[in-house]
Structure 1
Amino acid sequence: MSGGIDGITEDDLAQYLSLNPGFFERHAELLGEIRLASPHGGRAVSLQERQAALLRERIKGLEQRLMEMIRHGQENTAIAERLHAWTRAVMLQRDSRSLPLLLVEELKQQFLVPQAALRLWDVDVAYASEGFVLAEPGTVRGFADELALPLCALNTGEVEAAQWLFDGTPALSIACVPLRHDSARGAFGLLMLGSPDATRFQSDMGVDFLVRIGDIASAALSRLLPR
């Protein structure tokens, strides 16, 4: 309970003023006479000046939120355009043998991903000798099967598939995207993204976008599976 004078507390005054908005209309002179500490320094300002300062701060906060919303909107639009361009390039590739490489290269180009690679298994016998096929997936298959969602993390060396990304520069952060033809079945491949920037793929980042990438890649690459 706030202190008061003659039995009237600050809370009582605050309640009275909130219930009687016409008080300052009847005593307009008080708006200029009441002095308050400025939030930006030790000098005293009138109630009107303090209200104006608070209003300016409020407007500034709203402007910042609006600019942030606009920025996010522009970023989302740019991402959508890149996703569209990547998807179109993948869908237009008629040569099934060239599809995995094109998918990876377009992904790197459209989304500025420094390192990317994929491997498939259980493909149709016609593609069994291709470089993108993992003849004995072993632990990689088990790892991919366990991924309900894409995984982003620092590359600590524990993920065997991270070795696919080495191009002379080590990948410090990685994203692991399982490839599935049917959500009820195990994975038939794994898409790996990497970066020498340790902050590019972080464990706490959202993976909704990577889920879309995985869905599109899985649908496109499913043509390489036995019919």
Structure 2
Amino acid sequence: MTTPEPMSPITEDDIADYLVNTPDFFERHASLLATVQLTHPQSHRAVGLQERQAQMLRDKIKALEHRIMDMIRHGNENMILTDKLHRWSCELLVTPQDQLVASAADNIRELFQVPQVALRLWSLQGVHAQAAYAQGVTEAMQVLATSLDRPYLGPNTGYEAVQWLDEPTQAASLALLALRAAPGQPAFGLLVLASPDAQRFNSQMGTDLLERLAELAGAALSVLQKQA
């Protein structure tokens, strides 16, 4: 005579699985719902199942409200930034060539409230090659600019371009934007944004706006380049 194998103890997962697959259980035992007592998450007092479910629903609604408010806030912030980018682009379109560089830098400083902005170009034509914004750019900086597939955002680690700023020692964080006449072409300029706030430009930031800024600046300032 064989000895029957001992039955495995019922686990909480077994109970949960049974209740999920037996939806009419509480219809047959409706009185159980009134006797179930749970702990309230805030007051820690015992409450009924229905009250606990209502609290969970209120918490979910509150969390959704916070998410919606965050989405609205981010949407408003994006609209403000898009408007500033549009205004900056329109200003470039009506600016004479001999004022383009100064206008581009000054408007970035004012519209986007960037404490320090510097801009250098190379491979320019005619009188533009003798302008102050075409001086002091080493070959190493030109190579660095061309190597930037996307804006650099982070701490000031001693980049040579920092010396183009009015107050280099006040640059704790930087954004370096390579300027190209068109995507895929070598850079012919570098735009430097700097802040004394070490977190103003950091590697966790999104770069979409800065990439658009660099593309627009590159396209607008490319009229100063040497012609092929």
The 1-side partners of 2:219 and 2:168 are apart by 31
The 2-side partners of 1:186 and 1:23 are apart by 71
Equivalence for 1:11:
13
Q: Which of 95-104 and 184-193 deviates more?
A: 184-193
2:141 is aligned with 1:109: no
Shift of 1:96: 0.5
Runs of 4+ in structure 1 over 4 Å off: none
Equivalence for 2:133:
132
Task: Spell out the pairing of 1:63-212 with structure 2 (5 A cutoff).
Answer: 63-93=65-95, 95-134=96-135, 136-157=137-158, 159-167=159-167, 170-212=170-212
2:35 is aligned with 1:45: no
The 2-side partners of 1:28 and 1:81 are apart by 60
Change (3 A) 1:45 1:162: same
8 Å CA contact 1:154, 1:172 repeated in 2: yes
Report SS of the residue matched to 1:156: coil
Change (3 A) 1:184 1:168: closer
Q: How many residues align?
A: 221
Amino acid across the alignment from 2:105: V
Shift of 1:136: 5.0
Report SS of the residue matched to 1:181: coil
Equivalence for 1:3:
none
Equivalence for 1:28:
30
What's the % identity of the aligned pairs?
45
The 2-side partners of 1:146 and 1:132 are apart by 21
Q: Which of 13-22 and 108-117 deviates more?
A: 13-22
The 2-side partners of 1:15 and 1:23 are apart by 12
Q: What is the TM-score normalised by the length of structure 1?
A: 0.89
The 1-side partners of 2:191 and 2:84 are apart by 18
8 Å CA contact 1:179, 1:187 repeated in 2: yes
Change (3 A) 1:26 1:167: same
RMSD, matched Cα? 2.0
Equivalence for 2:224:
224
Structure 1, residues 123-148: CA drift from partner, whole Å, max 9, x if none?
00221221111265322112112111
Task: Spell out the pairing of 1:53-64 with structure 2 (5 A cutoff).
Answer: 53-64=55-66
Structure 1, residues 171-211: CA drift from partner, whole Å, max 9, x if none?
11110000111333321110000111111001232212111
Gap regions ≥5 residues in structure 1: 1-5
Report SS of the residue matched to 1:177: strand
Gap regions ≥5 residues in structure 2: 1-7
